[in-house]
């Protein structure tokens, strides 16, 4: 089984959910993020946060996948300070909702004073609520931004064991691990971390506190990045226990600290009924409901049968 602990399913289709489940993905975490076009009013954030804890959670369940999310003001939109102030008032209303496993993804983009201000405010919120934090490290000045992100977390008294530093690469991995934070890697085509590079990271650093995710979104990205990377690791001689740790167990250990995510959610799931509606809306768009059957999926845990959708 696999967990993709950073994927933006709002940007993906129901077909993606279908093939993800067929490839053994049993759970996903969807961080609140920048949609590509800046939002212009706080109502846009309210509707977006509501969709993460509502419609998207329902939609995933209709294809046999458990959906969780993180709630936060992303670093890019933190630079609109007037709007950021309004969003900060919203966050406590959503942070403790069912299925919310962390404050995130938050951190730096261009490392501006405004980004720093709202990063710190959200760390304080996470500390007040005793929540896990997901950190977005900048795409530019990656090493300096990652170091600064950890410095700020420690300045605010956060426990590194409850902070996931994401979008790491070869430049940052050693420091993040040495400082005791969870170290996540985004397998994103052409940018960030390729899966062949990820194999070498695990070969060199082992499995402790390392997490693989896809960050698949509206860009050129792959919702199957986690199982594909796991397969490549096995082909290149990475021990199965290490593959299982970085593609499943570590994400579960990190985010289950929220109290909102546990393995029983997918090992003992509620039956799937695609005739169900969410506020009057169906995932089917006029198509026939599928049945739920038990078949062997392509799973690292091949001693368990898992529910998947079949015709």
Q: What is the mean pLDDT of residues 152-174?
A: 97
Residue 244 near residue 300, CB atoms below 8 Å:
yes
**211 pLDDT tier (thresholds 50, 70, 90):** very high
Least confident residue range of 128-137, 157-166, 263-272: 263-272
pLDDT score of 301: 41
Per-residue pLDDT at 280: 63
Statement: residue 292 has pLDDT above 90: no
Across the range 222-229, mean pLDDT stands at 96
Residue 140 · residue 110 · CB < 8 Å = yes
Model pLDDT for residues 13-52, shown as the tens digit of each residue: 999 999 999 999 999 999 999 988 889 999 999 999 999 9
For residue 226, the model assigns a pLDDT of 97
Output Rg (C-alpha) for the chain, integer angstroms.
Answer: 19
The predicted-structure confidence for 226-252, as pLDDT tens digits, reads as follows 999 999 999 999 999 999 999 999 999
Topology of domain 2-310 in CATH is TIM Barrel (3.20.20)
Higher-scoring residue by pLDDT: 266, 194: 266
For residues 143 and 169, is the Cβ–Cβ distance under 8 A?
no
pLDDT-derived band at 306 (thresholds 50, 70, 90) equals very low
Question: Is residue 303 over pLDDT 60?
Answer: no
**Between 295 and 223, residue with greater pLDDT:** 223
| Rounded Cα gap, residues 184 and 4, in angstroms | 11
Question: What pLDDT score does 116 carry?
Answer: 97
pLDDT greater at residue 99 or residue 277: 99
Q: Which two three-digit tokens encode residue 274?
A: 């695609």
272 contacts 307 by C-beta, under 8 angstroms: yes
Do β-strands 291-295 and 210-213 pair in parallel, antiparallel, or remain unpaired? Answer: unpaired
Q: Check whether 69 has a pLDDT greater than 60.
A: yes
CB 261 within 8 A of CB 58: no
Asked if 175 contacts 144 with a C-beta cutoff of 8 angstroms, the reply is no
pLDDT, the chain, mean: 90
> Does 126 have pLDDT greater than 90?
yes
Question: Prior bond to 98 cis, omega within 30?
Answer: no
Q: Locate the domains of the chain by residue range.
A: 2-310
pLDDT at 298: 38
Residue 307 has, within 13 A of its CA and on its CB side, a CA count of 19
Q: How would residue 290 be classed by pLDDT, with cut points 50, 70 and 90?
A: low
Q: Does residue 304 register a pLDDT over 50?
A: no
| Residue spans of alpha helices (H) in 80-112 | 81-95
Strand 2-4 relative to strand 182-186, pairing: unpaired
Indicate if the pLDDT at residue 268 is higher than 90. Answer: no
Burial of 14 (0-12, 13-18, 19+ CB in 10 A): middle
Half-sphere exposure of 199 toward its Cβ, with a 13 Å CA cutoff? 16
Query: Could you tell me which of 13, 9, 15 has the C-alpha nearest to residue 57?
Result: 9
Q: What is the pTM of this model?
A: 0.90
């Amino acid at each position: 089984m696999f967990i993709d602990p950073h994927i933006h399913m709002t940007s993906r289709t129901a077909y993606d959910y279908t093939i993800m489940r067929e490839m053994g993905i049993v759970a996903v975490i969807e961080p609140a993020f920048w949609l590509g076009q800046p939002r212009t009013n706080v109502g846009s954030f309210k509707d977006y946060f509501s969709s993460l804890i509502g419609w998207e959670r329902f939609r995933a369940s209709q294809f046999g996948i458990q959906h969780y999310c993180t709630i936060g003001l992303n670093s890019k939109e933190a630079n609109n300070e007037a709007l950021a102030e309004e969003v900060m008032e919203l966050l406590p209303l959503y942070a403790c909702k069912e299925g919310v496993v962390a404050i995130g993804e938050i951190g730096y983009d261009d490392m501006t004073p405004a980004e720093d201000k709202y990063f710190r405010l959200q760390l304080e919120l996470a500390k007040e609520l005793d929540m896990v934090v997901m950190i977005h490290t900048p795409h530019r000045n990656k090493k300096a931004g990652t170091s600064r992100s950890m410095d700020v977390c420690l300045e605010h008294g956060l426990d590194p064991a409850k902070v996931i530093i994401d979008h790491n690469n070869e430049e940052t991995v050693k420091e993040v691990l040495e400082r005791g934070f969870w170290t996540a890697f985004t397998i994103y085509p052409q940018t960030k971390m390729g899966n062949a590079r990820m194999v070498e990271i695990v070969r060199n650093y082992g499995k402790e506190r390392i997490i693989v995710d896809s960050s698949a979104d509206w860009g050129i990205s792959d919702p199957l990045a986690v199982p594909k990377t796991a397969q490549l690791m096995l082909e290149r001689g990475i021990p199965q226990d290490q593959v299982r740790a970085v593609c499943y167990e570590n994400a579960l250990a990190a985010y289950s600290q929220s109290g909102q995510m546990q393995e029983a959610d997918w090992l003992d799931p509620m039956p799937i009924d695609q005739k169900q509606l969410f506020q009057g809306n169906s995932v089917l768009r006029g198509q026939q409901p599928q049945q739920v059957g038990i078949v062997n999926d392509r799973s690292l845990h091949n001693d368990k049968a898992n529910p998947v959708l079949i015709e």
